[in-house]
Structure 1
Amino acid sequence: MRWFAPRLAISAGAWWLLAGLGLLLPLLGWALLSWSGWVDPVFLPGPSAVLARFWRWATEDELLADIAISTWRVVAGWALSAVIALPLGLAIGTWRGVQALLEPLTDFIRYMPAVAFIPLVMLWVGIDEGAKIAIIFIGTFFQMVLMVAEDVRRVPQAQIEAAQTMGASTLELVEKVILPSAKPALLDTLRVTMGWAWTYLVVAELVAANSGLGYAILKAQRFLQTDKIFAGILLIGLIGLAIDQLFRRLHRHAFPWLYLRS
Structure 2
Amino acid sequence: MMASTTRRNDLRPISAALLLLLVWAGAARLYPPVILPGPVETLQALAALVAEGELWEPLKRTIARFSAGFGLAFLLGAGLGVAAGWRESVHVFIRPAISLLQAVPPVSWMLLAIMWLGTNGGAQVLIVTIALVPVFFFNTVEGVRQAPRELLEMAAVYQVSTGKRIAGIYMPALKPFWSAAIMVNLGMGWKTVVMAELISGHTGVGASMNTARIYLEIPDVMAWTLVIALLGLSMEQIARKLLHRKGPTAAD
Please indicate, yes or no, whether the TM-score normalized by the shorter chain is above 0.5. yes
- Residue by residue over 1:190-248, the C-alpha shift from the partner in whole angstroms, topping out at 9 and shown as x without a partner, is 23212211011233214653332111111122122222222111211111111111111
Letter in 2 for 1:248: R
| CA 1:256–1:11: 2 relative to 1, 3 Å | farther
* Residues 127, 207 of structure 1: 8 Å contact kept: no
The separation in 1 between residues aligned to 2:160 and 2:87, in whole angstroms, is 16
Letter in 2 for 1:81: A
Are 2:207 and 1:215 equivalent residues in the alignment? yes
The separation in 2 between residues aligned to 1:108 and 1:92, in whole angstroms, is 16
* Partner of residue 252, structure 1: 244
Are 2:72 and 1:62 equivalent residues in the alignment? no
* Partner of residue 28, structure 1: 22
* Residues 139, 177 of structure 2: 8 Å contact kept: no
The separation in 1 between residues aligned to 2:4 and 2:241, in whole angstroms, is 18
The alpha carbon displacement at 1:164 in A equals: 4.1
Pairs within 5 Å for 1:45-84:
45-84=37-76
* Partner of residue 193, structure 1: 185
- Residue by residue over 1:125-182, the C-alpha shift from the partner in whole angstroms, topping out at 9 and shown as x without a partner, is 2332222211211221223212222333333444444444545576654443112322
| CA 1:169–1:95: 2 relative to 1, 3 Å | farther
TM-score between both structures, scaled by the size of structure 2: 0.86
* Partner of residue 84, structure 2: 92
* Partner of residue 41, structure 1: 33
* Partner of residue 260, structure 1: none
TM-score between both structures, scaled by the size of structure 1: 0.83
* Residues 89, 145 of structure 1: 8 Å contact kept: yes
For residue 35 of structure 2, give the secondary structure of its aligned residue in structure 1: coil
2:224 to 193, 218, 232: 232
| CA 1:208–1:192: 2 relative to 1, 3 Å | closer
* Residues 93, 153 of structure 1: 8 Å contact kept: yes
The separation in 2 between residues aligned to 1:206 and 1:57, in whole angstroms, is 18
Letter in 1 for 2:202: N
* Partner of residue 154, structure 1: 146
* Residues 160, 178 of structure 1: 8 Å contact kept: no
Pairs within 5 Å for 1:132-211:
132-168=124-160, 173-206=165-198, 209-211=201-203
The separation in 2 between residues aligned to 1:228 and 1:72, in whole angstroms, is 22
Are 2:99 and 1:114 equivalent residues in the alignment? no
The separation in 2 between residues aligned to 1:118 and 1:210, in whole angstroms, is 14
* Residues 184, 255 of structure 1: 8 Å contact kept: no
| Structure 2, unaligned runs of 5 or more | none
For residue 205 of structure 1, give the secondary structure of its aligned residue in structure 2: helix
The alpha carbon displacement at 1:51 in A equals: 1.0
| CA 1:42–1:256: 2 relative to 1, 3 Å | farther
